[in-house]
Amino acid sequence: MAYTEFDKKGQSPPNNSKPRRQATPIKPLKPVEASPEELLNQNRIQHNKAIKNQNEIRQSHKKYDRVVKSVDDDSFLDDLDVAYGEDEE
């Protein structure tokens, strides 16, 4: 084990004795030159995707609501009573 200046002074070495990695400089983004028509088209595409996702979520919720409503109907309990041989009151 190599002795460091911390060992000589009686102090404990720091937790991470590895030197810090130099941060890579961030390159500035170049401004994108797009025509208003291209921007409108991109915006329209994103909007249509968002609407499609919302519709898919609504459809899945409708399926769930349909299942819950069918369970709220007590007619399935009568079928269970008949299946287990219990008398109806």
Does 55 fall in a domain? yes
| 17: Cβ contacts below 8 Å, ≥ 6 apart | 4
Q: What are 50-80's pLDDT values in tens digits?
A: 999 999 988 887 776 666 555 555 666 666 6
Does 8 fall in a domain? no
Does 30 fall in a domain? no
Does 22 fall in a domain? no
Does 64 fall in a domain? yes
Q: What is the DSSP string of 14-60?
A: PS--SPPPPPPPPPPPPPP---HHHHHHHHHHHHHHHHHHHHHHHHH
Does 51 fall in a domain? yes
- Total tally of structural domains belonging to the chain: 1
Q: What are 2-50's pLDDT values in tens digits?
A: 555 555 555 555 565 666 677 788 888 777 788 889 889 999 999 999 9
Q: What is the pLDDT of residue 52?
A: 95
Q: What is the pLDDT of residue 46?
A: 94
* CA separation for the pair 62, 68 (Å, rounded): 10
Global pTM value: 0.35
| 72: containing domain | 45-82
